[in-house]
Amino acid sequence: MELDLLYHKLKSFISEERIRINEPMKNHTSFRIGGPADILVLPQDAEEIKKIVACCRSEGVPFFVMGNGTNLLVKDRGIRGVVIKLAQNFNDIEVNKNIIMCKSGIAVSTAARVALENSLSGLEFASGIPGSVGGAVVMNAGAYGGEMADVVKKVRVMDFEGNIYEMSKEELGYSYRRSVLQKGDRILLNVEMELLPGVYDEIKARMDDYLTRRKQKQPLNLPSAGSAFKRPPGGFAGYLIEKAGLKGYRIGGAMVSDLHAGFIVNIDNATCEDVLKLINHIKKEVMDKFNVELEPEIKIYGE
């Protein structure tokens, strides 16, 4: 079987403790949902990523690149092929004056904390965003009037042939929750962010304010994938879902949060199927009542 051969190839350049076989994806997503990945790999540098991709392509095995899994819903039968997780082992960061350079696997909250420690302003909005910088850059994550497009200066990416090159902010084609990196034909390796010199106490006060608001309004104590739907033109998904009477509505172990209707939470060992049924029910109710089509913000993957 090609996976056995691939596993032995991977072992030749990656230590065994960073290669997982039949790894439950619920252990790698904030939703705590998802069947097993055939192989999950935790690379440490660009060279390892390049070799993993080359191995997968030579063996005809599909691969999927993820960050911290905070915006990811994995289906119940899991993921065939190889999952390349850019998170805890791919997370270096450095600061040069007002520029922060980091690998894509570092947590957004860590990058925001480093910005604070260096009295750099511009990342305050991101201090409570879960997930990796890479995921945030790809989806142009934002909150409280800020978004990643405001701070990204350039990125380093790798195509599937192993070529590594830089892309400027302009080349990323940013718009609301979108970038060209969502095509999935490149792997985001490094991010360079340009911030503004600021006053430590003022930056910290803004971050504390945003974090307090998050804790009051969002169900941070329950597994979820953050906002379930993108903001529709001229409105807010959570407001429409609440007006449709769906707060607390439940299918299986998945429920519309009774704190913030824009979140779907896993309250009792929810399956992906539970969440997908709930998403479809929400979309239908909001369309029927308000003639607004909601678009999921959660990335759904697997089989």
Question: Which range of residues forms the domain containing residue 258?
Answer: 219-301
Say whether both 78 and 100 belong to one domain.
Answer: no
Q: Which pLDDT band, with edges at 50, 70 and 90, does 1 fall under?
A: low
Say whether both 170 and 268 belong to one domain.
Answer: no
**Average confidence (pLDDT) over 58-73:** 93
Residue 185 is given by DSSP the state S
Say whether both 286 and 228 belong to one domain.
Answer: yes
Say whether both 8 and 80 belong to one domain.
Answer: yes
Q: Which pLDDT band, with edges at 50, 70 and 90, does 127 fall under?
A: confident
Say whether both 180 and 275 belong to one domain.
Answer: no
Residue 187 β-bridge partners: 158
Domain stops at, among 175, 202, 229? 202
Residue 173 falls inside a structural domain = yes
- Looking at residue 61, its pLDDT comes to 94
* CATH number of the domain where residue 253 is located: 3.90.78.10
Domain stops at, among 39, 64, 85? 85
Domain stops at, among 167, 202, 237? 202
Residues with a catalytic annotation lie at 177, 227, 297
What is the tally of structural domains in the chain?
Answer: 3
Q: Are 23 and 7 in contact (CB under 8 A)?
A: no
Highest mean pLDDT pick, 140-144, 182-186, 211-215, 277-281 = 277-281
Residue listed under structure tokens 């990811």: 72
What pTM did the predictor assign? 0.91
What is the share, in percent, of the chain residues with pLDDT greater than 90?
A: 87
- Looking at residue 161, its pLDDT comes to 94
Instruction: Note the pLDDT tens digit of each residue in 96-118.
Output: 999 999 999 999 999 999 999 99
- Looking at residue 128, its pLDDT comes to 81
Q: Are 126 and 112 in contact (CB under 8 A)?
A: yes
Distance separating alpha carbons of residues 63 and 54, to the nearest angstrom: 10
CB atoms within 10 A of CB 234: 6
**Average confidence (pLDDT) over 131-144:** 91
Q: Is 163 a residue whose pLDDT tops 90?
A: yes
Say whether both 179 and 246 belong to one domain.
Answer: no
Instruction: Note the pLDDT tens digit of each residue in 239-295.
Output: 999 999 999 999 999 999 999 999 999 999 999 999 999 999 999 999 999 999 999
Residue listed under structure tokens 């142009």: 140
Residue 19 falls inside a structural domain = yes
CA distances from 21 to 4, 40, 170 (A): 10, 7, 39
Residue 210 falls inside a structural domain = no
Q: Is 88 a residue whose pLDDT tops 90?
A: no
Please provide the average confidence, as pLDDT, over all residues in the chain. 94
Kindly report the CA angle at 62 between 60 and 65, in degrees rounded to 5?
140
Q: Is 89 a residue whose pLDDT tops 70?
A: yes
Say whether both 102 and 180 belong to one domain.
Answer: yes
Residue 214 falls inside a structural domain = no
* CATH number of the domain where residue 31 is located: 3.30.43.10
* CATH number of the domain where residue 172 is located: 3.30.465.10
φ, ψ at 277 (rounded to 5°): -65, -40
